Structure 1
């Protein structure tokens, strides 16, 4: 069976996700979990370390972009935008907890 989103055929799960979320092409080599956070809970120390590394990577990509590497510049913008997102599964789990807490308190 073939899966299409618009005029594009999704050949695997990653490509399906990219097309479904509206990204025609995701930058290669970008570890989305590094910038948006993992699906599983992380400790404060792990989060701080992850965000430090993410900031360093974004700074390096931005510097490469300023040096003339257009792809690195776009990757820096994409990675920076990912820092403002939350994975769907983690957001759903968090929303479920707040709803349950609200019902208990009511």
Structure 2
């Protein structure tokens, strides 16, 4: 059985994940780190600067979408959704407690 993401064939599970996670960015040109935040810790000043730029980009995409650019409108929706997500690796690294065997969840 062959697996395709877009026009690309995934040869194994790792390649499938890379293609699946990277395809929306390739199609839209949206920098996920700008809206989600990087996987590495950032200083409060870096975070504030990143969020300011993200708000400006999102506002510009919305304006373009309202002016009739359908791709910009979809990109605005995608970018807005990204602002509500946390990259899995960062979320996993911030977990301070893992239940031991026998503990209730």
Size of the aligned set, in residue pairs, is 92
Which structure 1 segments of 5+ residues have no match? 19-24
Shift of 1:29: 1.1
Shift of 1:4: 2.4
Which structure 2 segments of 5+ residues have no match? 101-105
1:74-106 Cα deviation digits (max 9, x unpaired): 1001001000001111000001xx217x99xxx
The aligned residue for residue 3 of structure 2 is 4
RMSD: 2.8
Matches within 5 A, 1:5-84: 9-10=9-10, 12=15, 14-17=18-21, 26=24, 27-84=27-84
Please report the TM-score for the alignment, with normalisation by the length of structure 1: 0.73
Please report the TM-score for the alignment, with normalisation by the length of structure 2: 0.74
Change (3 A) 1:92 1:14: same
Which runs of structure 1 show a deviation greater than 3 angstroms over 4 or more consecutive aligned residues? Answer: 11-14
1:24-56 Cα deviation digits (max 9, x unpaired): x51431100000000000000000000000000
